[in-house]
Every structure is written in C-alpha cells, then in structure tokens.
Structure 1
C-alpha cells in the first residue's frame, strides 16, 4: 500500500508515477530538467514521508526550473541500480537525459536549497 503522502504527489499534484524501466528512461530522457523521487519503503524508513512533503516545497522554491515524478516500488530497484544512488529516500536530478546529481536521505531545508541550486548549475554527468 502506498503511503498517503506519496500518493498525494501522484494523485493530488498529478506527478507521473514511473512504474517501469521504460517509463523512468523516457521521463529522465525528455527535454528539460527533472527531479525523480525514489521513496524507498516508508514503513521501514520514516524519512520517506518527510521528503514527500519537502519535494513539493522545493519544486515551488525553484519556480518551475524542474518537474517531478515518483518512482514506483516496482521500478525502484532497477532505477537505483541504473543511477547508482542506493540510499532512500532520494531525489535524483536529470537534464535532457543525463543525470546531473542527487540528494539522498533527509536533509534540512537550507541543505536542500543549496544542494538543489548547485545541482541545477552542474553540467550533465556522463553515464
């Protein structure tokens, strides 16, 4: 069962739920800048719900500089392996199909702001 705060992201906010390797590749590969939320197991990791609340606020703070999606439980393991970001919850950023950075685990607000600004200023990383 999906945690209510994660369900809010895809339901109320209308963010895509990426439920396969094909869906994650297509989303990350689309033109523009994208933040992909990898929640992990919210019953084992209490930080997951916190990041599910923070990401929409981070999205607002950066006023449309990136869009957001959520990786479903079914696609999560493969996505973590493909990006080499294994800690959850995490937010992984892409620009035009290239991974540009990640913010794993829970951070304080100032860290999210600083790290997101730094990531968005980075050139795309090679795969």
Structure 2
C-alpha cells in the first residue's frame, strides 16, 4: 500500500495501520464505533485514493461518532471474507467488537452520509 493519500491517513491524521489480526481485533474491540478503511490495491483500483480523501471528511462530518483505521494488506483478505464486504475500496464499521455494516466501492457524498447514519443506528450483526 504505497499511495501517498493512503499513507497520509497514518502520518497526518494519526490513524492506526492494522497489519495483524491482533491489531485488527484490538482496534474493533475498543468501546465505540470504528470505521475500517480497506483500500485494496491502489495501483489497480484508482477509487482507493478517492476514498482515502473522502473518509477523513466523513469522519469530521459525523463529529466523533466513529474513529478510523487503515487495514493493511496482510489482514485485508481475511477481513473482507469474514465480513462479506468483498469489493475494495470499502469502509467496514464495527461497534464494541461487533460488525454493524460495510460500504463497498466509492460513493457520492449524500450516499455515504445516508448509509453511515443508517449503519451507526443499527444494532450489531453477527459475522460468520
């Protein structure tokens, strides 16, 4: 994952990079709601950079209702298969360790706002 707009999420915004299953579990099991950015391969999927720009703006628009992290290549496939959010880039939401929803691919602003509001309002769903 070498795209500068994705790296910026870690370096400029301080979002954690989740490179191991342990990192991933520890992050999503913290109290509150969490958005996991699954970029995929930014060289093959140009939308990854778009979501890397949009997600910090969405996080700000929701005024602290969720925190965010970037999912590393090593655990990306496992997470996508476990959550059934297979397309990248995607944003997968957890609350208190439980999956609450996901948004695959890039969307327009209004779609993100509506979907995130719906996801954050839902009770957790069990991941298979």
* TM-score class, shorter: over 0.9
| TM-score, normalised with respect to structure 2 | 0.96
- After superposing on structure 2, the runs of 4+ consecutive aligned residues of structure 1 that deviate more than 3 Å are none
Give, in angstroms, the shift of residue 92 of structure 1: 0.3
Mean Cα deviation higher: 89-98 or 73-82: 73-82
Counterpart CA distance in 2 for 1:29 and 1:80 is 17
Counterpart CA distance in 1 for 2:35 and 2:82 is 15
Q: Deviations over 1:64-122 (max 9, x none)?
A: 00000000112211111222211000000000000000110010000000000010000
1:125 aligns with 2:125: yes
Q: CA RMSD of the aligned region, Å?
A: 0.8
Q: Secondary structure at the match of 2:24?
A: helix
Counterpart CA distance in 1 for 2:14 and 2:82 is 25
In structure 2, what is the equivalent of residue 52 of structure 1? 52
Q: Deviations over 1:6-35 (max 9, x none)?
A: 000011100000001111111111111000
